[in-house]
């Protein structure tokens, strides 16, 4: 009888694990703002869409695999591997240059209702892309004001340190 209980317990744990880690369809759209933190005049409305599969992993990091749309930028076959603070680099296959290209860095809230993207820009001093707080571009959503976009970015940027 004891072996039956152990077997049922292991079976139940396996069912719960596979249910929890089963990839779910993720199709979310956000209206947000692209802006520069220290450039008062730059503000642009953007639409961001995540379209793919989101997998929760209890002993590892969550993963999004699919397409990321930012206005007219379509990043196909993106794989976002979120760390324990829900941050991930955004890398995608650039068909034009046939290379793996970095778009930036994404931070999401725990329930994926807020996000911030730090847009990497070409560094004129070397052949790489980077983002700097003093003059970098951010995309935050959902919001329709620059002030709230910066507030969301600050929340998600400082989340790991709280």
Q: How does DSSP assign 2-68, residue by residue?
A: HHHHHHHHHHHHHHHHHHHHS-EEEEEEEEEEEEETTEEEEEEEEEEEEEEEEE--TTS--EEEEEE
Closest listed residue to residue 142, CA positions, set 28, 33, 27, 26: 33
- So what's the pLDDT on residue 20? 58
Q: Taking Cα atoms as reference points, which of 103, 126, 119, 115 lies closest to residue 153?
A: 115
Each residue of 117-130: pLDDT tens digit?
A: 999 887 666 666 77
Average pLDDT for 54-66: 83
74, 94 Cβ separation under 8 angstroms: no
In the predicted model, what is the mean pLDDT of the chain?
A: 83
Asked if the model's pLDDT at residue 53 lies above 90, the reply is yes
pLDDT band at residue 58 under the 50/70/90 scheme: confident
Residue with tokens 């979120």: 82
What pLDDT, on a 0 to 100 scale, did the predictor assign at position 162?
Answer: 46
Torsion of CA 39, 40, 42, 47, to 10 degrees: 110
CA distance 114 to 14: 32
Q: What is the pLDDT of residue 107?
A: 94
In this structure, are strands 63-70 and 39-55 parallel, antiparallel, or unpaired? Answer: antiparallel
Quote the DSSP letter at residue 142: S
Residue 113 scores a pLDDT above 70: yes
Sign (positive/negative) of CA torsion 134, 154, 50, 45?
A: negative
* Residue 66 binned pLDDT confidence (cut-offs 50, 70, 90): very high
Q: pLDDT value at position 161?
A: 46
């Amino acid at each position: 009888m004891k072996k039956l209980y152990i077997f049922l317990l292991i079976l139940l744990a396996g069912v719960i694990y596979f249910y929890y880690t089963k990839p779910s369809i993720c199709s979310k759209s956000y209206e947000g703002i692209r802006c520069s933190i220290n450039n008062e005049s730059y503000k642009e409305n953007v639409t961001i869409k995540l379209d793919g599969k989101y997998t929760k992993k209890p002993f590892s990091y969550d993963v999004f695999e699919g397409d990321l749309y930012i206005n007219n930028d379509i990043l196909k076959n993106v794989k976002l591997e979120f760390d324990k603070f829900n941050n991930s680099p955004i890398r995608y296959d650039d068909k034009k240059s046939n290379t793996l290209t970095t778009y930036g860095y994404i931070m999401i809230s725990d329930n994926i209702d807020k996000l911030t993207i730090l847009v990497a820009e070409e560094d004129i001093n070397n052949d790489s892309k980077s983002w700097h707080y003093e003059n970098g571009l951010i995309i935050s959503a959902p919001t329709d004001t620059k002030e709230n976009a910066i507030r969301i970015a600050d929340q998600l940027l400082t989340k790991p340190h709280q």
